[in-house]
Amino acid sequence: MVIFEVKSTTMKNIAFLTLLLMIIPLYSCKQNSGQETKAEVITEAAINSIVDTISKHNPNLDSPERLRTGVRQAAMQWKIEYGDSDVFKNFCIENYAETPEKRRALFDRLSVALEALWGGFNKISVELKKPMHLVGDTLAHIDYILGAYDPSSHLSEDFYDNKIAYLTILNFPFYTLEEKEKNAGQWTRLDWAYARMGDIFIPKASAAVLQLVADAEMKGESYIADYNIMMGHLVNNEGKKMFPADMKLLSHWNLRDELKSNYAPGAENFEKQKMIYRVMLDIVEQTIPLEVINNPEYDWNPYTNIIYKDGKETKANPEGTRRYEMLLEQFRAQQAVDKYATAYPNALLRAFDQSMQIKQEDIENMFIEYISSPKVKKIAGMIKERLGRPLEPFDIWYDGFKTRSAINEDELTQKTQRLYPNAEAYDKAIPSMLVKLGFPQEKAAFLGDAIVVEPARGSGHAWGAMSRDDYARLRTRLSAKGMDYKGFNIAVHEMGHNVEQTISMRDVDFYIMNGVPNTAFTEANAFVFQKRDLQLLGYGKTNEAQAKMNELDIFWGAYEIMGVALVDINVWKWMYAHPECTAEQLKDAVIAAAKDVWNKYYEPVLGGKDSPILAIYSHMINSPLYLANYPLGHIIEYQLEQFYKGKNLAKEIMRIYSLGNLAPQEWMVQAVGERISTKAMLRE
């Protein structure tokens, strides 16, 4: 899936990204416990003999080096149970596409088959997960079991057994990220498509292990999806209730967004923010009473941590370690994958080097350079002046640079509830909203037809199609009164994902090139859409002064989420350094990691020594090592926004997102003419 900050999200639930996350380096020695190493099956002499034989029979080979690479890589994964060197040799001779015409024909046939398979499995997953993802009946145990089932878990194994995987590897060898970037300037679109075909059949964990990962992810997702705080039942030290009686907010997304909304004028807004901040701390520290989670039967004073039932104080039971038990289960599942991944032997390497295609160290250095910039304190000074008070830790979510912060949110909600009383109303409005952004009528209708809007059980997400005949799905949260402003803002974010998903699926020249280099690139488009939500509500286009405020908003938002991502990375480093840790030890480690990052980069700006607030993000629990995509998305968004100035926004979005799944730096160069960097943001 593609997932989003706002909880966005083409999340991991999208089959193709799930497949990429499952990929494990080509150069691992074993695919599973029954696979022998290359040395035990196909010798170097045998490889040379095969290459010589094929070359001799085909003196006009267009690329002898590619032949050798394909044979070698296929040999590295060949199982002894399939036969000896002679059997492998015959297989290579019979299945090598020795001419460009034969290779293209093979590529086309494989592309058709993969679209049918991946698209079909994605449709099955959508149906099985509907009870988990969409508003409906109370969830039954069978819903959790079916929702965790991965129908594609045996596909790769089957393709090895029927030799399709080896045929593909032989003719479309794998290229490392370094090789892709080295060749980027010379490769044609077809060369890139062949390279992406070579990414598919890389050794991965067994189906049983992959199902273990899916189970852990679904368990974390279910835990977060039902983690609601009944805001109308919060009381302050005077016993006063400050939020609407029916307000129910999901952690952390809705809590954060409610805190942001209270930067608009309001006598009690500052106290509301302090109360929300205290709630967040109780969630991180697990001192929150179990009784108040998703339960309207109790009133709760988060300052004293006292709960009341029917007006009388009653015993509270802290949540304890449940949040960190979910995280630990995710870690245990990744540990099970590690043994199969000798080149990328841990989840950190798989998340960055492999999936994001950017080094973890490069990401960390980029983020630290940014949040250490002297410009952070300058902007913090602006915020302090605008607020007229000393800064608080929760001002990391300062929202006053957004144009809408000066507009009463009740007014905005009244408008959104009138316009979008249900998911169907938003669905029908998509084409007209896209026209407001500059899309031609015909293209807006095309994109609107390709997107289906559904009411989400949780905070919402975007789920892309995996075939050109399927729909992108926009899941959004609605109340009984309709879509409030916060829900609309998130829905616009998800719509940005859906537009990217549709363009990068249906407008890309080769199916195998569908998508974007990593999820940060779809996050960037979601952010571009989200910041134009008021324009979509008819408040006009952003003027020059507003544009400057938007740039400050992007800068401050990136400052916030980069720290969160660093905490996420440091927590996973700690878990790998302490692989036998308990949930209690993990809780202490997460809080310590959050405090460390805070004290280094945020306390000098916002105060609040030892605040663990950076650990509040739900992604840490249900989307392992996903958070770095958000700040990277902000960086990419900023570069895109600078490029869009003075140009037709919709036209450029259609061009750029039809580039498809190039390597990240090459994508950026072709999109805007420069590599990914924070330099532009810091310079501006």
327-373 pLDDT tens trace: 999 999 999 999 887 667 899 989 998 889 888 998 999 999 999 99
Residue 3's pLDDT band (cuts 50, 70, 90)? very low
pLDDT above 90: residue 204: no
Question: Which of 5-19, 315-329, 465-479 comes out lowest in average pLDDT?
Answer: 5-19
The type of residue at 310 is D
- What does the DSSP 8-state code read for residue 139? P
pLDDT tens digits for range 465-507: 999 999 999 999 888 899 999 899 999 999 999 999 999 999 9
Instruction: Give the pLDDT score at 417.
Output: 96
pLDDT tens digits for range 254-263: 999 999 999 9
Q: Which residue has the higher pLDDT, 12 or 503?
A: 503
pLDDT above 70: residue 70: yes
- Which of 615, 564, 624, 619 is CA-nearest to residue 590? 615
pLDDT above 90: residue 89: yes
Q: What gap in Å lies between CA 370 and CA 635, rounded to an integer?
A: 10
Of the chain, the end-to-end C-alpha distance in Å amounts to 33
pLDDT above 70: residue 4: no
* Helix residue ranges per DSSP H, 420-543: 423-436, 441-450, 485-506, 519-530, 533-536
Instruction: Give the pLDDT score at 11.
Output: 38
Q: What gap in Å lies between CA 161 and CA 182, rounded to an integer?
A: 34
Using the structure block, give the residue that is written with the tokens 């912060």.
405
The type of residue at 638 is Y
* Vertex 74: Cα angle to 73 and 79 (nearest 5): 125
pLDDT above 90: residue 458: no
- Mean pLDDT over residues 624-628, rounded? 91
Q: What gap in Å lies between CA 501 and CA 510, rounded to an integer?
A: 15
Mean pLDDT score across all residues of the chain = 90
- What does the DSSP 8-state code read for residue 402? S
Assess contact for 595 and 612: CB atoms under 8 A.
yes
Q: How far, in Å, are 494, 595, 646 from residue 285 at the CA level? A: 30, 12, 48
How much of the chain exceeds pLDDT 70, in percent? 93
pLDDT tens digits for range 558-590: 999 999 999 999 999 999 999 999 999 999 999
Q: Which residue has the higher pLDDT, 512 or 680?
A: 512
Residue 542's pLDDT band (cuts 50, 70, 90)? low
pLDDT above 70: residue 537: yes
Instruction: Give the pLDDT score at 153.
Output: 81
Instruction: Give the pLDDT score at 406.
Output: 61
How much of the chain exceeds pLDDT 90, in percent? 74
pLDDT tens digits for range 404-425: 556 788 899 999 999 999 999 9
pLDDT above 50: residue 456: yes
**Is residue 122 classed exposed, middle or buried when 0-12, 13-18 and 19+ CB atoms within 10 A define those classes?**
buried
- Mean pLDDT over residues 532-541, rounded? 88
Instruction: Give the pLDDT score at 25.
Output: 31
Residue 59's pLDDT band (cuts 50, 70, 90)? confident
The type of residue at 369 is E
- Mean pLDDT over residues 501-528, rounded? 95
Q: Which two tokens stand for residue 148?
A: 């965790």
User: Dmax of the chain from CA atoms?
Assistant: 90
Instruction: Give the pLDDT score at 436.
Output: 97
Q: How far, in Å, are 87, 441, 442, 519 from residue 447 at the CA level? A: 50, 10, 9, 20
Q: What are phi and psi of 389, to 5 degrees?
A: -155, 165
For residues 166, 170, 171, 174, the Cα torsion angle rounded to the nearest 10 degrees is: 100
Q: What gap in Å lies between CA 129 and CA 132, rounded to an integer?
A: 5
3-state helix, strand and coil shares in percent for the chain, rounded to the nearest 5: 60, 5, 30
Q: How far, in Å, are 15, 73, 179, 198, 427 from residue 165 at the CA level? A: 18, 11, 22, 10, 40
Question: Which of 52-61, 225-234, 537-546 comes out lowest in average pLDDT?
Answer: 537-546
Instruction: Give the pLDDT score at 624.
Output: 87
Instruction: Give the pLDDT score at 39.
Output: 41
Instruction: Give the pLDDT score at 6.
Output: 37
Q: Which residue has the higher pLDDT, 384 or 208?
A: 384
639-674 in b/e form (b: 16+ CB < 10 A) is: bbbebbeeeebbebbbebbebbbbbbbbbbbebbee
Instruction: Give the pLDDT score at 362.
Output: 87
Q: Which residue has the higher pLDDT, 119 or 519?
A: 119
Instruction: Give the pLDDT score at 289.
Output: 98
Q: Which two tokens stand for residue 229?
A: 């705080």
Beta strands at 299-301 and 306-309: parallel, antiparallel or unpaired:
antiparallel
* Helix residue ranges per DSSP H, 291-340: 322-338
Q: How far, in Å, are 51, 97, 336, 498, 579 from residue 170 at the CA level? A: 11, 9, 29, 35, 38
Instruction: Give the pLDDT score at 205.
Output: 77
pLDDT tens digits for range 425-452: 999 999 999 999 999 999 999 999 999 9
* Helix residue ranges per DSSP H, 507-607: 519-530, 533-536, 544-577, 583-601, 603-606
Instruction: Give the pLDDT score at 16.
Output: 36
Q: What gap in Å lies between CA 11 and CA 3, rounded to an integer?
A: 4
* Vertex 130: Cα angle to 619 and 14 (nearest 5): 50
Q: How far, in Å, are 57, 160, 218, 579 from residue 206 at the CA level? A: 38, 12, 18, 22
pLDDT tens digits for range 29-53: 333 333 434 445 799 999 999 999 9
- Which of 508, 517, 514, 513 is CA-nearest to residue 666? 517
Instruction: Give the pLDDT score at 117.
Output: 96
User: Quick count: other Cβ atoms within 10 Å of Cβ 205?
Assistant: 25
Q: Which two tokens stand for residue 264?
A: 């608009």
